């Protein structure tokens, strides 16, 4: 482990478990771009190296009428981990997961968490529990209980949307108070950091964050009001979670600042996407928009903070 220990002193080592979609610039590719894929970057304060595996290697997002490709199963994922272990390459500081479509694969991810923490007990597991949105499930129903009972307890940071938070807590979120209580329920189950990435309260779109710095203490909680943009974008969930991982790595004791930076980056990128589509003569309301990730690198690395966190007291 000498090589890995020396490497870890210079690099942040991250596994990104995301889908590989060839005709898109989000998901796994978005994370590689934001993390610099080994290059030093002020966004992170130090270099962050990335190894990624994909459950799906497909031509397009499933949001398109048709798509083709392959699905990796849990056994194949574990074979990749065995390959890393045989080459003494299991020291990582972060594990990031997003959309997972089967219980088998999710169960193997839990084995991966245990294996990586046997090498580095301080490994941070950032989980975006992608299950659905606006009352609609994207995944088989049986995954909900696996997330609730097995994944949440081992996560370091959880980034559900409103619907996903309701599924994980069995709590209907109809107010800011409900959102904060959902965070408390999730803290009690495991993760010290919880970010409800988007909740709609009385027509207002909010992010609610919560950081319980020590078990038994009241968490520091805050909200950020997010402007509604009259368009539908593909990849914002992946992007938000990746940004939160990156900025919370740089500001580990200041989740509200990390969220301010993440939201400000995202909003600048979405506005650029809208402007690009309009300049091309396309109506942004007519279809799902591919976010302008590459064109927005400076907004990702050096965002101007325009959206401030308001702490709850």
- Show which residues are catalytic: 238
Tokens 């890995």 sit on residue: 4
Pairwise CA distance, residues 86 & 88, whole Å: 6
String of b and e for 82-96 (b: at least 16 CB within 10 Å)? eebeeeebbbbbbbb
Residue 229 CA from chain centroid, whole number: 21
CA 67-70-74 angle, 5° bins: 135
Q: Token digits for 1?
A: 């482990």
Pairwise CA distance, residues 170 & 223, whole Å: 22
Alpha-carbon distances, residue 249 vs 93, 126, 168, 246, 302 (angstroms):
10, 11, 25, 5, 15
Pairwise CA distance, residues 139 & 85, whole Å: 31
Question: DSSP class of residue 171?
Answer: -
Residue 31 CA from chain centroid, whole number: 9
């Amino acid at each position: 482990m000498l090589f890995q220990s020396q490497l870890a002193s210079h690099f942040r080592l991250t596994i990104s478990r995301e889908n590989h979609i060839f005709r898109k610039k989000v998901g796994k590719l978005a994370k590689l771009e934001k993390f610099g894929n080994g290059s030093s970057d002020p966004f992170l304060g130090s270099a962050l190296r990335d190894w990624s595996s994909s459950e799906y290697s497909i031509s397009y997002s499933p949001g398109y009428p048709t798509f083709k490709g392959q699905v990796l199963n849990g056994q194949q994922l574990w074979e990749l981990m065995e390959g890393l272990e045989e080459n003494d390459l299991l020291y990582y500081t972060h594990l990031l997961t997003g959309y997972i479509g089967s219980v088998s694969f999710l169960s193997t991810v839990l084995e991966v968490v245990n294996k990586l923490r046997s090498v580095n007990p301080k490994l941070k597991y950032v989980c975006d529990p992608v299950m659905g949105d606006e009352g609609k499930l994207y995944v088989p129903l049986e995954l909900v209980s696996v997330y609730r009972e097995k994944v949440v307890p081992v996560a370091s940071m959880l980034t559900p949307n409103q619907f996903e938070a309701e599924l994980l807590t069995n709590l209907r979120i109809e107010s800011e108070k409900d959102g904060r209580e959902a965070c408390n329920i999730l803290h009690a189950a495991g993760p010290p950091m919880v970010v409800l990435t988007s909740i709609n309260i009385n027509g207002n779109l909010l992010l609610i964050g919560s950081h319980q710095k020590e078990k038994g203490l009241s968490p520091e909680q805050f909200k950020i009001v997010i402007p509604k943009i009259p368009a539908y974008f593909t990849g914002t969930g992946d992007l938000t979670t990746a940004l939160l991982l990156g900025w919370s790595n740089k500001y580990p004791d200041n989740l509200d600042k990390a969220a301010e930076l993440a939201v400000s980056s995202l909003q600048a990128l979405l506005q650029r996407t809208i402007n690009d589509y309009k300049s091309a003569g396309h109506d942004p309301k007519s279809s799902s928009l591919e976010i302008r990730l590459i064109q927005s690198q400076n907004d990702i690395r050096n965002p101007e903070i325009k959206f401030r966190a308001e702490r709850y007291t």
